[in-house]
Chain A
Amino acid sequence: MQRVRLRYTKRGRLRFTSHRDFQRAFERALRRAEVPMAYSAGFTPHPKVSYANAAPTGTGSEAEFLEIALTERRDPEKLRELLDESLPDGLDITDAVEARTPGLADRLTASVWELRLEGVAAEDVERAVAAFLAADAVEVQRRTKNGMRTFDARAAVAGLQATPAPSDRPGQGPCAILRLVVRHVTPAVRPDDVLSGLRAVADLAPPVPAAVTRLAQGLFDEESGTVTDPLAPDREAVTAAPQKAAGPAAAPEPTGAGSA
């Protein structure tokens, strides 16, 4: 069995795809592309796909990850092209590597988000950001399946900066861009929770919903304040052991412990 890790996007109008919608679309794309999928055992066998940490419906993403299990070996790059072609534009497969290390999910500890705030002046956003960062805790509320929930949105935020939007952008009026680095914690702090936080500390209320995009997802690096590519260890493992990647022989079964 070969395991392949894929990075994919939710772009443009397809950012409104829910995670369930994406799962169905992806599994159909696997069938159309005739990918030799491994199936789960049982009464209703399902193709073996593990999804990690999907972005909420309505937010765009450049950095979603999943892993599939194949019964026959495939070249990851060819597989990527095939699947990308089989998916609708906007759901694009942008990277593929053979899994050679355990624990992809463990390497997704933080995300970098971009929030585009139309109709808001950069100075106002900067002021709100400063107030937010100065606070020890910022209580926000979100409606969940179990009713209203109150939690802190501040502690998970590892970075928050405001910049004015580039002057050549389409549209009129003021616009600010927020860059947010947030650690994956429980309960999850989402970009809209941070926006709620900005409203709570500085009454920042954008007139239109923010356009939110996940730019990156990976292991949080304290020094640089950003995240590293979670597929890099798999790629480096290939470089370290090229004879394994080249030959048609079966890939070593991941042991699930220690080799990273």
Chain B
Amino acid sequence: MNIEKLKSAHKLLNEYKYELGKIEKGYTNRTLYINVGDNTIKEKPVTQLMKDKFIGGKGFGLYYLWHAVTPETKWNDSENEIVIGSGPIGGITQYPGAGKSLVCSLSPLTGMAMDSNVGGYFGPLLKFSGFDALELQGKAEKDVIIFIDGNKGTITIEEAPEEAIDSHILGEQLTEMYAENEEDKRNISVVSAGSAANHAYMGLLNFTFYDVRRKQIRLKQAGRGGIGTVFRDKKIKAVVIRFAGVKGNLNNADDQGKINRTGIKLHKEIHDFDAQQCRMRQVGTANIIEVMDQYDLLPTHNYKFGAHPDTYKISSKVFTGMITQNTPDGCWYGCSLSCAKAVDHFELKTGPYKGQKVIVDGPEYENAAGLGSNCGIFDPHAVLELNFYCDTYAIDTISYGTMTAFVMECYENGLINKEITGGLELNFGNAEASLEMLHQMARGEGFGKLAGLGVRNLKKIFAEQYGADPVFLNDIGMEQKGLEFSEYMPKESLAQQGGYGLTNKGPQHDEAWLIFMDMVNNQIPTFEDKAEALHYFPMFRTWFGLNGLCKLPWNDIIPASNKHSDEPAKIPEHVQNYVELFNGVTGKNIDKEQLIIQSERVYNFQRIFNIRMGYGKRIHDAIPYRAMGPVTVEEYLSRAERYDGQLKELVGFNPEGKSTEEKMAALRAYREDQYQMLTDAVYKRRGWTMDGVPTIEHLQSIGMDLPEVIEVVKKHL
């Protein structure tokens, strides 16, 4: 790797010098705006209104994006922005999971505001360099790199023609290029995409951190919704930040001691209980692969089923043996939960890097389920290879897995054939075909290029160009709002159908995961109970994104106090920790109810943003029937006892002597009706009309009655 040669090819387009900032109680009170179209670089003040109403992180991102675009703006218009920011708590080093960056942009998949959260060091280092958020707007003519030196107070935009595009190489090149020496590499973080993001709509952004033990970069992904595609459309190759001098008190918190004590308490809990609970330190999120299978929740064969006899081949035990153990795998300092696992010296069998030994950042649960079981692929090596290539090519593993599962079902049903796939035999279980499709996506060729457009576009193409039955495609295509479902089987949990369907950005479980509370524990039996959960959890979980926090340390470790709690699902002791952290950093004095209202403001703002863009209504909250019940006879018969029982007990329909088709129709009518009744209850609880529009009274009551917001809402009431 000849770094000097790469660097000498750079052409400086603009250089900007700024005064180093000071952080006060979690805020630098300043953001950075860069337009790569005309090379503008400027600073913007953070207003009191932004802090009061939007808090930070995703709140700031949505606020800036709203004001950057019009209802007519498309994802690839130059005024679309990518906004990256942490949040007031982001960058503290004492509490696990406090280094998240939140990324917002208009999505190529949904046409609406997308938000995606990601680890790695960029967000905290951006704040320490003096900025609460970074706005990227415009489109460059040729590939550029933006470099922010947070110690020298300089920002440059440089044309950069020769570096790699794929993240695992580009991240290493730029870390080497911009670090002053080996010791300085830990102070660099790179944001980049990859070659598939040049073509596919499901492109992601990689955020690096430098692993001091492995002496190599690691990649964390802002995966959802195609923001990497927007990044490449702007011809941004990378954004690089350097900040040396991280300490535990750079946020200038109001009460550092309170933060330290809260953090140490959680470190101790993780030390004492993680090995018996989730084994996050040992195997990360992959710990639940076989658990999901045992509860019939692991999507297999495009969400037809929730379990498979071969799951043991990709169980957490298998991956535990492949992960390098006994290294602290936090994606920001102080994360003792350390779920950022890696497989070292992984030898690739296909593609442009065939034969090379690489680090695979994973496996995550979502990858094993999406790239693996959902596609009928139960080969751990294939799962890791797909994982690696998705990351470096910048493809969202969730969208890729769900899209591939859909395409495979279409192929097996003869809706598409080898002629259409260009020879790819996309049967369930064909790992080679999936890998080849992914390589095509990166090259922008053949069926892989088409597949990169995502399930929503494929449904249209298969129906219009290849004569496939659009009703069936809509039943089995697991997307909503244009975004592919994440990897949990929601059929037997009405609340989780709402957890996927009644969301802002599309069916991603980061708003609510209610399957156990609902299906197994039976804690939320009525529509009102479910609606309460579909109010509380999405609001609570939105809050992590406002503050630069990770959700996992909230409930992937359970404190001893929890068994005596009245509301164990909420993990009340940990909720209180977050109240302490917020107050400790900002000096404010919120309680757990005000925490929810902070989220409600931004949540409703995002809903109204969707409405402003022409979406965000009840019709957009409908979900495919595959998410609700058995679409095919095969599915019905596989769980016939369960479904027959429900017909008798819940539907009041005697299944005896009836054909499977008659039983399926009765069950479908019942389940679709249930979803509508749930939607009514949730809208009511959230203060929305029955068309899903937030009412003015509700907006006034939560303090989100900004004039520009009311103006949009008025037209829809």
Are A and B co-members of a single complex? Answer: no
